[in-house]
Amino acid sequence: MLILKRMFSITSRKTASKKPQLDQVSDIMIPGQYLRYFKPKKTKSLQQQQQQQLNQSRHLDLYTETARPLHGHEWDATPTITQERMAQRIQRALSTVYSMEVLPTPLITQEHLTLRGIKVSRNLKKCFIFYEPTSTIKKQRGQVHRALINYSPILNTLIKNHAQLRKPLSIKFVSDTQSKELEAIYDKLEQETGQQ
């Protein structure tokens, strides 16, 4: 027991000697080469703190948007060559899926829907396939939409297999409403120019 007490007292002295206290050594002269161990901590003034906060806020406000943002306006921009090539590749894969594969329901075949277009994002990670049901009856259109939602994972795997994509790509089937409106506008314009 005595041996343990002596050992603890020796170790406590060693640790105390390693961490010198400034208030204990204020009246002792310290050699110049050891003064760096006894420097007091610098306190920042209010002006320095405010200036540092200002600089940090400036840096935070500079770059708020990524180099290639993936927002809605990206789809409006003209596609690059790689985007067009990827869209063509997916178009070919879709045509081979429709010609070769046996699909689980006829509602997702080209008899019941027309493909309007394919758009690929700039980073080539997202793909939107725009479609429109061929029938004008609301009930049948709803059935086509539901069938595409239910069987989109199967279609995605078939498209990826036939396109032989190296990198993963998320494919979404999006119902197209804008192209129909545009076609109606073009038809009206043609009629007006034909009458004049």
pLDDT in tens, 168-196: 788 888 888 777 777 788 888 888 888 76
- CA torsion through residues 133, 137, 143, 146, sign: positive
125: CATH = 3.30.300.20
pLDDT in tens, 121-140: 888 888 999 888 888 888 88
3-state secondary structure of 115: strand
pLDDT in tens, 72-112: 555 567 888 989 999 999 999 999 998 888 888 888 888 88
For residue 71, tell me if it sits in a domain.
Answer: no
For residue 46, tell me if it sits in a domain.
Answer: no
For residue 162, tell me if it sits in a domain.
Answer: yes
For residue 167, tell me if it sits in a domain.
Answer: yes
For residue 187, tell me if it sits in a domain.
Answer: yes
Q: Tell me the residue type at 56.
A: Q
Q: What gap in Å lies between CA 44 and CA 38, rounded to an integer? A: 19
For residue 180, tell me if it sits in a domain.
Answer: yes
The residue range of the domain holding 95 is: 78-195
Q: Residue ranges of the alpha helices (H) in 63-169?
A: 72-76, 81-100, 138-163
For residue 61, tell me if it sits in a domain.
Answer: no
3-state secondary structure of 67: coil
Q: For the chain, what's the residue count?
A: 196
Total structural domains within the chain: 1
Closest CA to 167 of 131, 99, 120: 120
For residue 16, tell me if it sits in a domain.
Answer: no
